Amino acid sequence: MNKELQTVVDWVDYYRGEFHLPVAERGGYAMLLVTDHIGIVHMPKQLAERVLHSLRERDTPGPLLARQIRWTMVASIDRLPGYEMLDRLARNDICVPVVGSALMIPTRFDRYTPEGAFWAIRPTRDQLLPLLSTVVSTALAETAQRAEAIGPE
């Protein structure tokens, strides 16, 4: 399959056709577009691993893009967080980019890609994405549990 996908445009077409993701070519890269239907949540790797574990228990993990220290979950937007929630997320090093943002995605399914990122969980055809509100609430719950486990300083 990778042999057939030679160019960024090939990958854009593949992501769009195979996974129904809003992907476009921008500046020579395949970019996943944040729309009013598809969102992303950036968070530190360790937190993402805990969130992923929790989402797997609910059987709704969704695609997960991994970079060295920050991982990104792809989600279906059911509702957007308000300003107070965005502030709370930011204090926990969690970011929900706004509609119109874009995320560079790999043009290979290998662990080492030209983009410096890989799919820890690849998108799959007709996969139901976790709801954005579920990813956000799970991430906040995991940060709260972590804070309780560490205790006061």
- Domain-by-domain residue ranges, the chain? 8-150
pTM beyond 0.85, yes or no: yes
Residue 151, pLDDT > 90, answer no
Mean pLDDT of the chain: 92
Residue 81, pLDDT > 80, answer yes
Q: How far is the C-alpha of 115 from the C-alpha of 134, rounded, in Å?
A: 28
DSSP label at residue 127: P
